[in-house]
Amino acid sequence: MIHVTIYQNENRECVGFRTEGHAGYSVEGSDIVCAAASVLVINTMNAIERYAQDPCSVISNDEAGLIAYYLVNGYPSKDADLLLNTMILGLENMADDANYAEYIDLTFEEV
């Protein structure tokens, strides 16, 4: 199962996230749930770097399926906020879908 924790500040703005694990929907290389979650997460990080340029910290480990991403300032710019909320929307849709809910767990935590 993919575990995703969304970190929010006191204003309920996303200031980072942590993904860990593998979906187990199918064999490695054919797992559409892992692929979908990976695309949402990695594209969001790349888009923030290119379009928002908010300073961030990233830790990753491919074997563990780990990505820990944090905005250094603790507050997203307007562009980063939109991009992060778009990622969250996609992950929520996956977690709420009866076909994929057992493969992804999404939680929110105030930091």
The pLDDT tens digits for 30-86 are: 999 999 999 999 999 999 999 999 999 999 998 888 999 999 999 999 999 999 999
CATH of the domain at 77: 3.30.70.1490
Tokens of 46: 């790349």
**pTM of the predicted model as reported, rounded to 2 decimal places:** 0.94
pLDDT score, position 29: 87
Cα–Cα distance measured from residue 54 to residue 38, given in angstroms and rounded to the nearest whole number: 21
Beta-carbon contacts of 19 under 8 Å, excluding residues fewer than 6 positions away, are: 2, 3, 4, 37, 41, 65, 66, 67
Cα–Cα distance measured from residue 69 to residue 94, given in angstroms and rounded to the nearest whole number: 20
Neighbouring C-beta atoms of residue 42, cutoff 10 Å: 15
The number of folded domains in the chain is: 1
pLDDT score, position 28: 85
* Owning domain of residue 7: 2-110
- The per-residue pLDDT for range 12-22, each reduced to its tens digit, is 999 999 999 99
> Residue 61, exposed/middle/buried by CB under 10 A (0-12, 13-18, 19+)?
exposed
Nearest to 85 by CA among 10, 2, 12: 12
